[in-house]
Structure 1
Amino acid sequence: MTDTHILVINPNSTASMTEKIAIAAKKAAGSASRITAVNPTGSPAAIQGPEDGAAALPGLFEVFDQHLNNDASIDAVIVACFDDTGLFELKERSPIPVIGIGEAAYHIASVAAPKFSVVTTLSVSVPVLEHNLVLNGLATRCARVRASDVPVLELEDPKSNARHKIEKEIEAALTEDGIGAVSLGCAGMADLADDLSRKFQIPVIDGVASAVRLAHALPLRNH
């Protein structure tokens, strides 16, 4: 059996976040798949809102082209930003599947529960995610996109109170939204999903793992 080779691109330039994403992707992929996790060097350190997303596009596209032109073994690409930065542009130009961690998390959440909420970082990201839910046809399944007021880079600081803020927002979603699942709305939250699922006794969904599992469900291209 041919192993699946998945290229995971973090569109921001924070290498520590890429390492965290790689760990989550490899855990979801298992031993039969190969994960290559990369990020551009000239992009914003964090993608918080549409301006950062636009600024990240040149680096994202450059890394995408470089790897696909130089490595014919890649079976699928994951864009590891919950805003799904550049996703539809890459889908249109790519010879292989391109999956966004936002779209993956929305679809998995919609299977896990009749209604779900998204807990993201800052409020500037909320309109982007709401628009993406419409594009994915799942806006009516999402009760609410919630901002936890956690700057993305705080997720890289073990001394921050980011996790506490995220937990408080999940508690509010469970109380107010009538949901059965939560999607974590940032790739930097990937390492929290399992613990939060156990804590709250509902599916708390990481988009990185969701995208990897969807990639495994797709047919491989013939190399």
Structure 2
Amino acid sequence: MRLLVIRHGETVSSRLGHFTGRADVALSERGREQAGQWREALTDFCRGEEVSVASSPLSRCIETSTAAGMTADVWPDLVEWDLGVLDGLSADDHRRAHPEWNLFVDGPPKNSGERVHEVRERAERVLARVTERGADAVLFTHGQFAKVLVGVVLSLPAEASSRFALGPARGVLFLDRVQGKSLAGWNIAPSPERLWNGLS
């Protein structure tokens, strides 16, 4: 079984480096172009298989799946982290002002938004849903949630998710192994070589 997790394409907010949680922002023109580059690769990935395709309910993920040529079911658990008072703030400015703070350990400040354990529980439900079905899956989601999901899939502590960086419209690939899922590709851009075919 292959699991491919794709972050949505660029938005104006992501280009500016702003935290964007539950705000329902649209893709930028560049973001739509980035998403469209997945079309051929995903057609190949899904060929001859019954693949689950799911998306966050927020517009930027649904737009990404559509531009990539996929018809996705909406899974509410794939929605981005509710970042509370962080939403719309400059991520770099906030981190400089609070160097000891770590979203993946401390959660959003001022007791706002979603707690770390709540986001990880959503990620666990997503993983269980994919695993129960037992078929290849493509999930369209968000940067912060994707990092949490990766940590959950690999059974890493919450803090480890802060060590990952995932660009707009980039993918993460997992393959099933005897001991569980293995990380086979990180920050993947769609490629004519379809590198994941040689990893199974």
Tell me the TM-score range normalised by the shorter chain: 0.3 to 0.5
Q: Report the TM-score when normalising by structure 2.
A: 0.43
Higher helix share: 1
